[in-house]
Chain A
Amino acid sequence: MRQLITKRFAKWLRKRIPAENNQTLSHQKIFIFPSKFGAWYLILCGLLFVLGTNYQNNIMRLLCTFLLSLFLLHLFASYINFSRLRIKALPCSDIYASQTSVLPVELSYKGKAVEGVIHLSWWNEPDTKVISVPIESPYTHLVMPMLLLQRGKHRLGRLTLRCDYPLGLFKCWTHLDLDQTITVFPTPKTCHVNLLAHQGESNSSTLTFREGFEEFHSLRNFQNTDSLTRVAWKHVAKNNEWRVKTFEEPMPSSGFLTLESSDSPDLEVKLSELTHQILTLNKANKPFGFKFQELFIPPSIGEKHKNICLTALAHYPSVLDSEGTNDER
């Protein structure tokens, strides 16, 4: 029953608040209702009215009507403040299944300032974390933590934004679909890097790398040229400090990764181990080729190369039509 209602509501929401990456809050999108505190406030007004009537005390009645009109005005003040908000999803970094990752979000306003604290959470997700950010400047950046369990293509759910400004009497909220389709890569699983020579060249001369050459070294500040994979997201989420993980220099080598690079019998484990190998090689800045289903990529290096490979893994068993995936937005 509950599910049915949620489904209906979701359908209704789709119609009422269509998906869009960059959204301004219009009256269609905003819901407003007295908060719990607002309800108590109204009960208090009722009490004052009864007290004023019983003691035949006009000042108390006047206070009661004053509080009521203040309540009424706050309905508008709350709504107008919230309606000035703009929200935009920023490109997110690589996301791996079963690992906490984040969706960077930008809150902004033009013209008159939005005030108060905006509370964000994922809609219809039972144990979503509420992120609260005070709006203090025209642009506010934050990251929404999310946990996606399965690899593959994912459409992100709706984001609930809530604001209690100015007196907490009303809560304004909205459920926005920021139109984010993201590819979730398989969870990396530690294993040896197993680069295979291309079958055309020589008969399977296997080049093996020992695990451990890409040991974590230290954290340093983010520079524009850095790969987003190396950003320590935990730091960003916690302290809003952009830090990059650095690793010790690996040895150069070249070869191909194929499904045979992992010797696990389980397919998902295979994919996970391949993911790990791709990441390891990428971090080490080592060129590698990729042969997977119908995909054949000659050895190369770089973020783009890595992403094509990982996307292919993520989408397995469906085949990518071309290298045009949408994760480097």
Chain B
Amino acid sequence: MMKDSHSISSANAHAIFILTIAFLALTAALYAPLMSWVIILSVCAVVVRLSVYLGWYTKLPETRTINLLSVLTVIALAWLGWQQGLLLSMVNLLVSACSLKLMIIRTKKELLQLFLSLLFLSGAAFIFEQGVLFVLLYSIILMSLMVGLALQFGSNSSIYYQTKKLTILSLQALPIAALLFLVFPQLPPLWIMPSDQNSASTGLSDTIRPGDIANLSQSSELAFRANFETIVPAPPQRYWRALVLEHFDGEEWTISEQRAKQILRNKAYKKEFSLTPIGQPIDYKVYAEASRALWLFTLDAPIPANKTTQSKIWQTDTFAFRAEQPLLSAIAYDVQSYPSVKLNQTNKRFDQQLNLQLPKKGNPKTREWVETLRRQIPNNKDFAATVLNYFADPVFSYTLTPPLMRGDSIDDFLFEQQQGFCSHYASAMTFILRHAGIPARIVAGYHGGEMLDKQVMSIYQYDAHAWVEAWMDDEGWVRFDPTGVVAPERLTLGLEAALQNKDAFLANQALSLRKFKHISFFSSLRNTLNKVDYFWSRWVVGFDKEQQSDLFETIVGKITPEKLMYLMLSVVAIIALFLFILFAPKLGSNKREPSLTLYLSMVNKLEASSQCVRGTRSPTQYLNEVEPYISIEAFNHAKVITRLFVKSQYTNNIDSNQKSILSKMKYHFRKLNKEI
């Protein structure tokens, strides 16, 4: 293939054109992980290629120029990629290599190299996106790559023709691919891959700065879905815990360093927290979207429902699940939550010591107010209830666009502004409780969820929420949600209902379908899209070992190695059968032409009736030979058939010609049969 010195070894111009377009689309789809200069480089390469293709420009850049450029690119990537992490620099490197290669492609060999790189790139792109629409886009890109390749190897240069052919082949490949996917072993990661730690995680943030946020960014992006097996918790109970913030520096709440160390220490000693369950569990499976973060979402108090989930997650001492590595792709895990369990099974002293921390100074008004109140109510429970009740005062209002509160933000919030969203209320209440000597912390997560159908709940980014947990002696951690006191609708009906000003909901998302919920067309469109998306994440993105073995079990019953072997063999057999059905009719096509078959069966007939054997005689010779032995009518038909047969052998190979000859031959053959 490589050493042909013929012009066939040069790259086909149409093939390069198609690959160029596919490369452009790929770069556009990958814009997020790419550095801007890499995008500019690839656009330049595309422009160079297209102008060569369109004949505006005839000379390709010289190899020397490109070599120089590639050295510069590598230097730039090494310099800038330092902060980017291995994964992103690799993707950038691959894209820039493709752009440089694209500019100088001349030979078929180079074209094939580019094809393989682009194929790998479009595969690697799935690290960043796995949604249905993206997969659809990448499939189109993949198809055009294949069409480019087909143009290189085929003799028919019509893009339409090659696309049609490849589409048929791909449609045939899909069932085999799906079958293979279902039975392919679902292995655990072989080694930990680099991830782009520097790019921000989406959705929840691991810090809360109530005073700094003037405008809570809302997004109608999906955070995760939950599929409940039996009981679906009522709306007010839908508190999805993600992470616990235990350190306050006067301005922002963060994950406590001691807590982070504790997790690392426990991991090192493999001392995983395990909950002792009491009461009835709620069983559900969560399909979390890729968030590039470690935290997972559970209802209180969770334990992993099976071994697969156990291997994927780590249970922390804050009753939350953590993923083993940042969620670069969607993940599914099974949970059993025991709502009746008291959250007191952790190290009480450690938790209490951690959650009484406050900065030495700041918010004097609040401190004074707390001290006064605490003197009146020494009982912890009563005190917490009183504080919670304090927010019921109608002067407090719920808004997503509160004014900025700098400096002593809690003083400002409690006594001046008196308006805000969940973070403000949770932050203020935690501060109050801590100053009163009650261990308290902020829990960040989601509250709410929209039912997709009877069992499946979708939770969106705008459902993000923060609430308070306080240590109530024997009961352990008890949840208090001041937001629920200020705006009860937030907990029962969701965010949209809680806002007095409806326009504020998803104000920055003009085109979100969620916003047009009241128009029935958009509502049903959104619903359909959601269902497709759920199906996708459930059966494709979230398909895991557990589901695989469930599937096997429904087919063969209890799994034994022997049964598994039979299952694999039958899969192979099914694929073979499928291939046989597809290709068997075509395999015989070269064996014998129909006219020959017909002629030979006529010879058989004549030989049987006349005892005159054809042997090696030519058709015309045999006709003369057989003439005396058969009737005149039969001879006439035989003569026509012979003539037609000879004609079919020497005539143009045009289908319509052959068909008319064949139909005439058939007609005379029937007549001949009657005569004999």
A contact residues vs B (CB 8 Å cutoff)? 24-26, 35-37, 40-41, 44, 47-48, 50-70, 72-74, 76-77, 80, 83-84, 86, 108-112, 115-117, 119, 130-132, 134-136, 138-139, 164-168, 171
Contacts and interface: CB of A to CB of B under 8 A. Distances in A.
A126 B8 CA distance: 21
A40 B583 CA distance: 26
Given A69-B177, A165-B154, A132 B589 contact: no
A36 to B, nearest CB: 6
Contacts of B120: 44, 47-48
A57 B8 CA distance: 39
Interface in B113-130: 116, 119-120, 122-124, 126-127, 130
A117 B153 contact: yes
B123 A63 contact: yes
A86 B587 CA distance: 15
Contacts of B582: 73, 76
B184 A167 contact: no
Contact of A73 (B112, B173, B331, B593): B173
B4 A130 contact: yes
Contacts of B586: 80, 112
A69 B543 contact: no
A163 to B, nearest CB: 9
Max chain B Cβ within 10 angstroms of own Cβ: one of A59, A117, A135: A59
A28 to B, nearest CB: 12
Nearest to B117: A44
Interface string B206-239: 0000000000000000000000000000000000
Max chain B Cβ within 10 angstroms of own Cβ: one of A44, A53, A171: A53
25 contacts: A41-B116, A44-B119, A48-B120, A50-B190, A55-B328, A55-B329, A56-B329, A57-B130, A59-B329, A59-B541, A63-B122, A63-B123, A66-B170, A66-B174, A66-B177, A69-B177, A80-B583, A86-B590, A108-B653, A110-B653, A111-B593, A116-B154, A165-B153, A167-B150, A168-B153
Contact of A40 (B6, B116, B135, B172): B116
Contact of B123 (A60, A72, A111): A60
Given A59-B126, A76-B579, A132-B8, A66 B173 contact: yes
Nearest to B156: A115
B269 interface: no
A73 B172 contact: yes
B587 A83 contact: yes
Given A65-B184, A76-B583, A168 B191 contact: no
Interface string B31-63: 000000000000000000000000000000000
A24 B540 CA distance: 46
B140 interface: no
B395 interface: no
Nearest to B653: A138
A241 to B, nearest CB: 18
A119 B1 CA distance: 9
Contacts of B4: 119, 130, 132
Nearest to B131: A59
B554 interface: no
Contact of A68 (B2, B149, B180): B180
A61 B184 CA distance: 9
B225 to A, nearest CB: 16
Contacts of A132: 4, 6-8
Contacts of A84: 589-590
A154 to B, nearest CB: 26
Question: Interface size bucket, B side?
Answer: 35 or more
Interface in B274-294: none
Contacts of B126: 52, 57, 59-60, 63
B181 interface: yes
Max chain A Cβ within 10 angstroms of own Cβ: one of B165, B190, B540, B586: B586
Contact of A117 (B130, B155, B172, B543): B155
B539 to A, nearest CB: 9
B154 A56 contact: no
B216 to A, nearest CB: 32
B176 A72 contact: yes
A25 B590 contact: yes
B589 A112 contact: yes
B187 A53 contact: yes
A132 B153 CA distance: 12
Nearest to B170: A70
B519 interface: no
Q: Which 4 A-B pairs have the closest CB atoms?
A: A69-B176, A134-B155, A132-B8, A66-B177
B631 interface: no
Nearest to B129: A59
B127 A69 contact: no
A53 B395 CA distance: 55
A267 to B, nearest CB: 39
Contacts of A111: 589-590, 593, 653, 655
Max chain A Cβ within 10 angstroms of own Cβ: one of B8, B142, B188: B8
B337 interface: no
A133 to B, nearest CB: 9
Given A37-B112, A55-B193, A130-B5, A69 B154 contact: no
B109 to A, nearest CB: 9
Contact of B8 (A58, A72, A117): A117
A165 B154 CA distance: 6
Contact of A171 (B1, B155, B329): B1
Nearest to A60: B126
Contacts of A53: 187-190
Nearest to A53: B187
Interface string B179-213: 01100100111111100000000000000000000
A83 B590 CA distance: 7
A124 to B, nearest CB: 16
B329 A44 contact: no
B128 to A, nearest CB: 10
Nearest to B155: A134
A168 B112 contact: yes
Contact of A65 (B130, B150, B169, B180): B180
A48 B121 CA distance: 10
A56 B155 CA distance: 41
B370 interface: no
Contact of A56 (B112, B176, B189, B587): B189
A43 to B, nearest CB: 9
A116 B149 CA distance: 12
Contacts of A48: 120, 123
Given A51-B193, A54-B193, 19 more contacts: A26-B591, A35-B1, A37-B116, A41-B116, A44-B123, A53-B190, A54-B189, A56-B331, A59-B130, A60-B123, A65-B181, A66-B170, A109-B653, A111-B655, A130-B6, A135-B155, A164-B153, A165-B155, A168-B112
Given A37-B112, A130-B6, A166-B153, A54 B587 contact: no
